[in-house]
Amino acid sequence: MNHRINTNNFNYYPNRKNTGCPVPPSEGGYIEWVINPSSELLFNVDKKTRFKQKVEGMKQRVRGVKFQEHYNQAQLFYNSLMPHEKVHLVSALSFELSHCDDPDVYKTYTELLNNIDFDLAKKVAINVNGVVPEKPARANHGKSSASLSQEYFRPKNPIIATRRIAMLVADGYNAVEVQTVRKALTNAKAVTWVIGPRRGRIDSGGLVSKNDEPIIADSHFDGQRSTLFDAVFVPSGANHAKAFMKNGRALHWIKEAFGHCKTIGAIGDGKGLTH
């Protein structure tokens, strides 16, 4: 129930500069409840009328010894990751730390990571221009658990069922290809989404026949992200491909999918979008 707004660099206690304390440390930081000699509750906690609560044993706001062990579980998690998962973790930590301009944070966080793994701490420190440790701060217990890695949940026989496939189309797409591929994916129990420059009717431009039914896009490029799909498919169609080459959002879709290691398929003119 601390409603005070501290105007210094810290709004919590304890902190590394021992400043900006919400409450005087000498008072223990809190009073649970107080009584007077007649055992009536006092709502006015004036120092002159304050009495200590009777305690049988020890009563303190402290954390147990076991709570002070911060690194065993972190080491277990890191040891359990596959090499590519460790690379991902280093990238994630480096990304977050790169948004901080306080040198003390780099030093402190590098020290924390060095208690988990020496190699992890070095790589992150190098990425963010932090303090590179010279030796491990703590021995790695070497234990691991297979179930902590995402690879543990990889199916033995991968199938396409339930996978989300984004089909990128613009006016002038090849309707036969879209319909054929979509039907094949649906039969395999995959989920297909049509993504276009706008949500609604997308015409094939009469590439197949005048009676060809238009496709209705489920979303437009700004309404969905490629990261939400497992794969991206781009059909052929000269006008359709030209429209995409002029559309920065469409190009971003492909680049972002590639950057996240998504499967990308293209036919004919659609290949130009993937180059």
Rounded Cα distance between 269 and 275, Å, is: 11
**pLDDT of 241:** 86
The 10s digit of each residue's pLDDT in 81-132 is: 999 999 999 999 999 999 988 888 888 899 999 999 999 999 999 999 888 9
Closest of 156, 159, 166 to residue 231, by C-alpha:
166
Rounded Cα distance between 267 and 181, Å, is: 11
**pLDDT of 65:** 77
Rounded Cα distance between 224 and 164, Å, is: 12
Give me the count of residues in the chain: 275
Q: Do domains 68-154 and 164-274 have the same CATH topology?
A: no
**pLDDT of 188:** 95
**pLDDT of 24:** 55
What Cα–Cα distance (Å) separates residue 55 from each residue in 58, 59, 207? Answer: 7, 7, 87
Rounded Cα distance between 168 and 217, Å, is: 9
Bridge-based pairing state of the strands 164-168 and 263-266: unpaired
The 10s digit of each residue's pLDDT in 89-101 is: 999 999 999 998 8
Containing H/E element for 72?
Answer: helix 72-80
Residue pair 229/166 in contact by the 8 Å Cβ criterion: yes
What does the pLDDT profile of the chain (275 residues) look like in tens digits? 667 666 667 766 677 777 666 555 455 544 555 555 554 444 445 554 454 556 666 666 677 777 778 899 999 999 999 999 999 999 999 999 999 888 888 888 999 999 999 999 999 999 998 889 999 999 999 999 999 999 999 888 889 999 999 999 998 888 888 989 999 999 999 999 999 999 988 888 655 555 566 788 999 999 999 999 999 999 998 888 888 888 888 899 999 999 998 999 999 888 877 77
> 167 forms bridges with which residues in the sheet?
194, 233
- Token look-up 């006008």 returns 239
Domain spans, the chain: 1-61, 68-154, 164-274
What's the CATH fold of domain 68-154?
A: Hemocyanin, N-terminal domain (1.20.1370)
- Token look-up 């496939």 returns 165
Whole-prediction pTM value?
A: 0.61
**pLDDT of 64:** 75
CA-derived radius of gyration, the chain? 30
Rounded Cα distance between 121 and 51, Å, is: 50
**Residue ranges of the alpha helices (H) in 81-227?**
83-97, 103-114, 118-128, 175-187
Q: What CATH class does 164-274 carry?
A: alpha beta
**pLDDT of 121:** 96
